[in-house]
Structure 1
Amino acid sequence: MGRKETFFNHITEGYKTKGDFITFGSAMLDGETIKDAFVKVPLKTLNRHGLIAGATGTGKTKSLQVMAENLSEKGVPVLLMDIKGDLSGLAQPSPGHVKIDERHAAIGLPFDAKKFPVEILSISEQEGVRLRATVSEFGPVLLSRILDLTEAQSGIVSIIFKYCDDNKLPLLDIKDFKKILQYSTEEGSKEIQSEYGRISTMSTGAILRKLVELEQQGGEQFFGERSFDVKDLVRTNEEGKGVISILRLTDIQDKPKLFSTFMLQLLAEIYSTFPEQGDSGKPELVIFIDEAHLIFKEASKALMSQIESIVKLIRSKGIGLFFVTQNPKDVPEDVLAQLGLKVQHALRAFTAKDRKAIKLASENYPDSEYYDLDESLTQLGIGEAFISALNEKGIPTPLAATMMRAPMSRMDVLTDNELKHLINTSRLYYKYNEDIDRESAYEILSEKIEKINEKEKVEEKKKEASKSSGRTSRSRRSTRMNPILKVVTSATFIRGVLGILKRVM
């Protein structure tokens, strides 16, 4: 048996699966695509998370698109973070191309152009179904970690949440939280101190500055009502295809704080809402986080710890997380260790630092007698990737250089008219894009402060009146007791003096 036949058996045996699966493409050996040597990943292992990495222009986005399409076709809902703005084409079928036909002929898969059910979401000023969450839903612990507060400052946040819960003050948006911070150190300081302890004005000032920083990155658009129900991410259409929710984030790249805030809240909400799934045949939801380094950029140790915990725990809810980035080193090691599926596109070595990064990246993959990974990683073409996954027993599959299949949908963005039509026909758009500003902590405290100020004014007037009355009373008593003053102020005396003065003048 020749080397090619041995390799074919090696791949087909290593990627054999009994349950439902998605097919990435066909394995390659010595730069040649081995037809029908399919690289397949069982659906049941996709809640073990994954990584799609590679240099710019090597095909990461198309691999993400292929995975989203295949999951949708299997009835699995998908959430995509679209930071570059090039994923909306999933809503339209591919126009086809001779190069696509050639690629699929080499792989051994037929090509079928299709469109998929798409929902456009937004957390910024871009058009789409608005995703919001209230401050109360974040809770004191998560909010403190996002704001990177000290232990003392976090304690104050917990006191404020407790006070608001006890006094039925809804914390919905940032202005609610800023108002209660002001109230806790001014008008309401005595009230709160008697029940919950003293609150330092220095600490509340520091918290306020962190809130302003978040607000400047667009946080005021994210916090508020109506809160997005994460169960609306888990939908299928009338044909049984999983809905692909695309979150538009093209204007968020320079706002890492808002991006990490949103992602952490979303994952925490999903974890607390979804039931334990156990050993299921397919994931409940798969989330792809493009430009994943933005989540970890400038993240504090506390925030990183929270992300790592959620990544470890959320798979028990049937949720798969896939991080898409240029280099595996963009993802912290503790998170990288949790990723069962790795799709590694080409890396480029222009400097000694690049070569070192490639060597480190190659160590994330199992050894193979068929590939020199350090060298091969720089020689992969566009739409080619090394793949390592987990089989149905949780055992790593053989490393396979893979000719990736082409997306069935359009590999380009929707036109403005197509996008507008998609948004206007969404039932979620009218559910979540209504502006709601019901009475909350801001309004209640403002009214309370106004009443306190009015009461203080009334008491001040009473004090002034009392003082004035006291002065008049003392003056009268003084006049009665002083006969000289009485004579000097008498009408006869005044007339006499004035008459004299008049005559002199």
Structure 2
Amino acid sequence: MSNTQEFLDHINTGYTTKGDFITLGAAMLNGETITDAHVKIPLKTLNRHGLIAGATGTGKTKTLQVLAENLSEKGIPVLLMDIKGDLSGLGAASPGHPKIDERHEKIGIPFDAKKFPIEILSLSKQDGVRLKATVSEFGPVLFSRILNVTETQAGIMSIIFKYCDDNKLPLLDLKDLKKVLQYATREGKEELEKDYGRISTASTGSILRKIVELEQQGADLFFGERSFEVNDLCRLDDNGKGLINIIRLTDIQDRPKLFSTFMLSLLAEIYSTFPEQGDSDRPELVIFLDEAHLIFKQASNALMDQIESIVKLIRSKGVGLYFVTQNPTDVPDGVLSQLGLKVQHALRAFTAKDRKAIKLTAENYPISSYYDTKEVLTSLGIGEALVSALDEKGRPTPLASTMLRAPMSRMDVLSPEEISTILKDSSLSEKYNEHIDRESAYEILSEKIEKAEAAEAKEIAKKEREKLKKTTSRSSTKRSSATEKAVVKVLTSATFIRGALGILNKLFK
């Protein structure tokens, strides 16, 4: 009993907080839940980022759901990446269950079923508020890193963007960028080389092929207008709850480049738009990146550097990033080292590689006299996790094997009818789902090329007419000369005949 009391004091002391907080659940010791040994996460440290990891079926998504619900209830907006399609249930109250009541009794927290305000967003053709951005907003450096081009090709991209800026050619979508690249190596080659230097046709061809690859992953739906304003992610409902923005990505798993492109642009836009917060008492926005390995999959070294830089800097804007994945090793070390909250669900030791991963994972957690971390990692049940967080002074809290509370909302998807109702009531649908295709680089250059071709055709026709006129004139001159010769010849012949006849007349007189 004394050991249990010591552990209770150990947890309560380590997780003491003077400010507002979120309760994740209750700590466990020797497989038993210690009621009232609550694991509390201060709102003040939630912009220090975090990780939710664990094998398939261990409860990662439900942990994400619990965090999103509690943040919303505290008036903090949330952005979720719904890759598996099972997060829309946040918009409906849980039907409850005896096992949920039993769990919460052990934890020492009453269960209260409720729904939360949600906004459904979409990157693709799925129903939802359309998320878009223009090519110009990316800029040449970020766009080059997304395409993973060479240094020379990145220089050409900078020239293309500069030319468009100088000549007031809006780069809104991918067809604009492709048109400018084609123009730079054909009709406008002399114009660009005169002011900006030589542009290699081979390099522009390579860039075009990479843009086509991006298009094939559905990026043509993402690039364009109207650009999504990131401040729309930070809304509250009429009751003061933070909006939970859910991006439906169920059809995007086989298109990692589009996903990483979107995420990088979103984080870059948030960083450039949000004001500096410093060490505020609560985050302005918390973003959960489910299936986080998709962000890093196929990412170039340059792109990885960009992601790491944003992760390091964006917390000063009051934004917390939470990566959800199966194994912590899915997240690069440079990013992993920036994560303050770690919720580690069970890992499976089926292979030598799995056992090695478990050993590495255990080393990422504080040493505890109450747990053998490697052993606990393989014995955790569904809805249980090892938790390590930061207290209000930024110090690591004690490691706690935790029974997590259950979601207050539905642990299942909404029906098509329920989703349709939410979309109909959305204040953002009308703003962002209008199709806009205003005049941009594609139309301006197409018109310029048409005028140039028309002028060229006119000039060619003029030259043809002059050539025809000269040819006709020469033919006429030749005919006149031939006629004159014939006349002279005839006249000469007539003279000769008259002369001959004159002689004959004289002879026969």
TM-score class, shorter-chain normalisation, is over 0.9
C-alpha distance in structure 2 between counterparts of 1:189 and 1:31, whole Å: 72
- In structure 2, the residue matched to 1:219 is 219
Deviation at 1:476, TM superposition (A): 3.9
Deviations 1:10-50 (A, max 9, x none): 10000000001000000000000000000001001011100
- In structure 2, the residue matched to 1:263 is 263
The amino acid that maps onto 2:102 is E
C-alpha distance in structure 2 between counterparts of 1:398 and 1:66, whole Å: 21
C-alpha distance in structure 1 between counterparts of 2:152 and 2:473, whole Å: 54
Deviation at 1:265, TM superposition (A): 0.3
SS of structure 2 residue aligned to 1:473: helix
Q: Please, what TM-score do these two structures have when normalized by structure 2?
A: 0.94
- In structure 1, the residue matched to 2:289 is 289
C-alpha distance in structure 1 between counterparts of 2:448 and 2:345, whole Å: 60
- In structure 2, the residue matched to 1:499 is none
- In structure 2, the residue matched to 1:352 is 352
- My pick for the range that moved more, 185-194 or 205-214, is 185-194
C-alpha distance in structure 2 between counterparts of 1:83 and 1:137, whole Å: 26
The amino acid that maps onto 1:161 is F
SS of structure 2 residue aligned to 1:367: coil
Alignment of 1:392-411 (within 5 A): 392-411=392-411
Deviations 1:110-162 (A, max 9, x none): 10011100000000010000000011111111110000011111111111111
Deviations 1:390-444 (A, max 9, x none): 0000000000000000000000000111011011110101110010111111111
C-alpha distance in structure 1 between counterparts of 2:69 and 2:398, whole Å: 24
- In structure 1, the residue matched to 2:186 is 186
C-alpha distance in structure 2 between counterparts of 1:481 and 1:421, whole Å: 92
Q: Please, what TM-score do these two structures have when normalized by structure 1?
A: 0.95
C-alpha distance in structure 2 between counterparts of 1:488 and 1:439, whole Å: 71
C-alpha distance in structure 1 between counterparts of 2:133 and 2:269, whole Å: 10
The amino acid that maps onto 2:31 is G
- In structure 1, the residue matched to 2:505 is none
- In structure 2, the residue matched to 1:87 is 87
C-alpha distance in structure 1 between counterparts of 2:228 and 2:468, whole Å: 60
SS of structure 1 residue aligned to 2:428: helix
Alignment of 1:310-321 (within 5 A): 310-321=310-321
Deviation at 1:183, TM superposition (A): 0.8
SS of structure 2 residue aligned to 1:37: strand
C-alpha distance in structure 2 between counterparts of 1:236 and 1:379, whole Å: 40
C-alpha distance in structure 2 between counterparts of 1:254 and 1:328, whole Å: 21
Deviation at 1:330, TM superposition (A): 0.2
Alignment of 1:186-205 (within 5 A): 186-205=186-205
C-alpha distance in structure 2 between counterparts of 1:65 and 1:435, whole Å: 33
Alignment of 1:463-482 (within 5 A): 463-479=463-479
Deviations 1:232-278 (A, max 9, x none): 00011111100000000000000001000000000000000000011
C-alpha distance in structure 1 between counterparts of 2:271 and 2:141, whole Å: 15
Native 8 Å contact 1:60 1:324 kept in 2: yes
The amino acid that maps onto 2:43 is L
The amino acid that maps onto 2:144 is S
Answer yes or no: is 1:5 the counterpart of 2:8.
Answer: no
C-alpha distance in structure 2 between counterparts of 1:396 and 1:11, whole Å: 12
Report the RMSD for the aligned CA atoms in angstroms: 1.5
Native 8 Å contact 1:57 1:382 kept in 2: yes
- In structure 2, the residue matched to 1:274 is 274
Relative to structure 1, the CA distance from residue 488 to residue 428 in structure 2 (aligned partners, 3 Å threshold; closer, same or farther) is farther
Relative to structure 1, the CA distance from residue 158 to residue 489 in structure 2 (aligned partners, 3 Å threshold; closer, same or farther) is farther
Deviations 1:31-71 (A, max 9, x none): 00000000001001011100000000000000000000000
Runs (5+) with no aligned partner, structure 2: 494-509
- In structure 2, the residue matched to 1:42 is 42
- In structure 1, the residue matched to 2:244 is 244
- In structure 1, the residue matched to 2:458 is 458
SS of structure 2 residue aligned to 1:439: coil
C-alpha distance in structure 1 between counterparts of 2:265 and 2:331, whole Å: 19
Relative to structure 1, the CA distance from residue 488 to residue 326 in structure 2 (aligned partners, 3 Å threshold; closer, same or farther) is farther
Alignment of 1:353-368 (within 5 A): 353-368=353-368
Relative to structure 1, the CA distance from residue 36 to residue 459 in structure 2 (aligned partners, 3 Å threshold; closer, same or farther) is same
Deviation at 1:488, TM superposition (A): 11
Answer yes or no: is 1:78 the counterpart of 2:81.
Answer: no
The amino acid that maps onto 2:30 is D
* Count, aligned residues: 491
Answer yes or no: is 1:375 the counterpart of 2:339.
Answer: no
Deviation at 1:483, TM superposition (A): 7.3
C-alpha distance in structure 2 between counterparts of 1:386 and 1:158, whole Å: 47
The amino acid that maps onto 1:303 is L
Deviation at 1:201, TM superposition (A): 1.0
Alignment of 1:316-335 (within 5 A): 316-335=316-335
Deviation at 1:190, TM superposition (A): 1.1
The percentage of aligned residue pairs carrying the same residue is 73
The amino acid that maps onto 1:63 is T
Native 8 Å contact 1:25 1:402 kept in 2: yes
Native 8 Å contact 1:480 1:486 kept in 2: no
Deviations 1:215-235 (A, max 9, x none): 010011000111100000001
Deviation at 1:474, TM superposition (A): 3.1
Deviations 1:445-493 (A, max 9, x none): 1111000000000111111122222223333444555679756999xx9
Relative to structure 1, the CA distance from residue 489 to residue 331 in structure 2 (aligned partners, 3 Å threshold; closer, same or farther) is farther
The amino acid that maps onto 1:424 is K
The amino acid that maps onto 2:376 is S
Native 8 Å contact 1:479 1:486 kept in 2: no
The amino acid that maps onto 2:342 is K
SS of structure 1 residue aligned to 2:242: coil
- In structure 2, the residue matched to 1:502 is none
Deviation at 1:298, TM superposition (A): 0.6
C-alpha distance in structure 1 between counterparts of 2:375 and 2:33, whole Å: 18
- In structure 1, the residue matched to 2:53 is 53
C-alpha distance in structure 2 between counterparts of 1:51 and 1:486, whole Å: 105
- In structure 1, the residue matched to 2:15 is 15
Native 8 Å contact 1:59 1:383 kept in 2: yes
Deviations 1:332-361 (A, max 9, x none): 000000001000000001111111111111
C-alpha distance in structure 2 between counterparts of 1:487 and 1:326, whole Å: 105
The amino acid that maps onto 2:213 is E
Answer yes or no: is 1:164 the counterpart of 2:183.
Answer: no
C-alpha distance in structure 2 between counterparts of 1:122 and 1:424, whole Å: 15
SS of structure 1 residue aligned to 2:321: strand
C-alpha distance in structure 1 between counterparts of 2:226 and 2:311, whole Å: 27
- My pick for the range that moved more, 407-416 or 191-200, is 191-200
Answer yes or no: is 1:412 the counterpart of 2:412.
Answer: yes
C-alpha distance in structure 2 between counterparts of 1:226 and 1:467, whole Å: 53
- In structure 1, the residue matched to 2:507 is none
C-alpha distance in structure 2 between counterparts of 1:99 and 1:485, whole Å: 121
Relative to structure 1, the CA distance from residue 237 to residue 485 in structure 2 (aligned partners, 3 Å threshold; closer, same or farther) is farther
- In structure 2, the residue matched to 1:501 is none
- In structure 1, the residue matched to 2:501 is none
- In structure 2, the residue matched to 1:340 is 340
C-alpha distance in structure 2 between counterparts of 1:486 and 1:401, whole Å: 120
- In structure 2, the residue matched to 1:253 is 253
Deviation at 1:197, TM superposition (A): 1.1
The amino acid that maps onto 2:452 is I
Native 8 Å contact 1:131 1:227 kept in 2: yes
